[in-house]
């Protein structure tokens, strides 16, 4: 059944590997009959910095507080047009794919600024005005799928389970778990290409073919089994003793 997919990307050079992946995504999904919407962050001149200019109609002109203004702007329809548009694109989507190069073990600032600004209070957090009641598996984006496609300059070995940079999945946990699963999305395992600084074209073509296969299964693949906040495994937001007993850290929140 045809679906709608939002593709968010953060690289200004059309011939970069990131953008070749984006082109493949659009072409493959459209060929399958899906509708593709795009957020080309550099092309749009996306405003990365979240600040007073996000709130033309302030509830408190005396002291600027982000959460208070975000809640007010979202509830009263006074958000800036660019933010409201991206929220609509998220709501319209059945899946969201993010394409970006890994910079300093995270998102480029322009993409972080998309999260910071689009994820309003009442929308991505504080959903239904209920504080932290709906998150991690519940939330406004519940039922949608999310997938990171990440271009990594360094070699895979440096991101191995005992590699010096740390495992990629743990470095990206603040994004996969903290930014995507948080408002309810089902997050697929991250697709990473390593050594992109030195990739010759034959290898790049192989990597693009591998990505195409991932896309073929976008709506069938099993998501990362993050534990749901409201699934009975947490007590007071602490993982109950019987789950991953004796362990701690980011990985206990995945039901292996």
Q: For binding to a second copy (CB under 8 A), which residues are involved?
A: 12-13, 15-16, 42, 46, 48-52, 63-67, 101, 103-110, 112-113, 115-116, 119, 132, 136, 153-155, 157-158, 160-167, 170-171, 173-174, 177-179, 182, 197, 229, 234, 236-239, 244, 247-253
- Nearer of residues 221 and 232 to a second copy, judged by Cβ: 232
The least CB distance from residue 28 to a second copy, in Å, is 24
- Nearer of residues 120 and 218 to a second copy, judged by Cβ: 120
The least CB distance from residue 169 to a second copy, in Å, is 9
- Nearer of residues 108 and 184 to a second copy, judged by Cβ: 108
DSSP 3-state assignment of 103?
strand
The least CB distance from residue 145 to a second copy, in Å, is 19
The least CB distance from residue 2 to a second copy, in Å, is 31
Phi, psi of 8 (to 5 degrees): -110, 125
- Nearer of residues 143 and 249 to a second copy, judged by Cβ: 249
Cα dihedral 156/157/159/164 (nearest 10):
-150
The least CB distance from residue 216 to a second copy, in Å, is 30
Cα–Cα distance list, 254 to 12, 132, 216, 226, 247 (Å): 34, 20, 25, 4, 12
- Nearer of residues 28 and 244 to a second copy, judged by Cβ: 244
The least CB distance from residue 31 to a second copy, in Å, is 27
- Nearer of residues 94 and 116 to a second copy, judged by Cβ: 116
CA 209 remoteness from chain centre: 23
What's the residue count for the chain?
256
DSSP 3-state assignment of 9?
strand
Phi, psi of 76 (to 5 degrees): -100, 10
Burial 120-146 (b: 16+ CB within 10 A, else e): bbbbbbbbeeeeeebbbbbbbbeebbb
């Amino acid at each position: 059944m045809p679906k709608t997919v939002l593709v968010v990307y953060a690289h200004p050079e059309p011939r970069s590997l990131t953008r070749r992946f984006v082109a493949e995504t659009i072409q493959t999904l459209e060929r399958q009959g899906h509708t593709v919407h795009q957020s080309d962050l550099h092309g749009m001149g996306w405003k990365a910095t979240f600040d007073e200019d996000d709130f033309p109609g302030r509830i408190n002109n005396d002291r600027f507080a982000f959460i208070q203004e975000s809640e007010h702007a979202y509830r009263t329809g006074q958000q800036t047009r660019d933010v409201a548009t991206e929220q609509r694109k998220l709501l319209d989507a059945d899946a969201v794919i993010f394409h970006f190069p890994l910079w300093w073990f995270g998102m480029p600032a322009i993409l972080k600024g998309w999260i910071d600004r689009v994820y309003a209070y009442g929308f991505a957090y504080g959903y239904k005005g209920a504080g932290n009641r709906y998150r991690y598996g519940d939330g406004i984006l519940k039922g949608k799928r999310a997938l990171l496609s990440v271009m990594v300059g360094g070699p895979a070995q440096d991101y191995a389970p005992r590699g010096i940079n740390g495992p990629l999945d743990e470095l990206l946990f603040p994004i996969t778990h903290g930014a995507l699963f948080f408002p309810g999305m089902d997050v697929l395992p991250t697709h990473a290409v390593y050594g992109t600084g030195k990739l010759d074209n034959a290898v790049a073509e192989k990597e693009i073919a591998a990505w195409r296969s991932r896309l073929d299964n976008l709506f069938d693949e099993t998501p990362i089994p993050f534990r749901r906040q409201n699934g009975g495994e947490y007590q007071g937001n602490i993982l109950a003793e019987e789950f991953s007993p004796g362990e701690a850290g980011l990985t206990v929140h995945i039901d292996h």
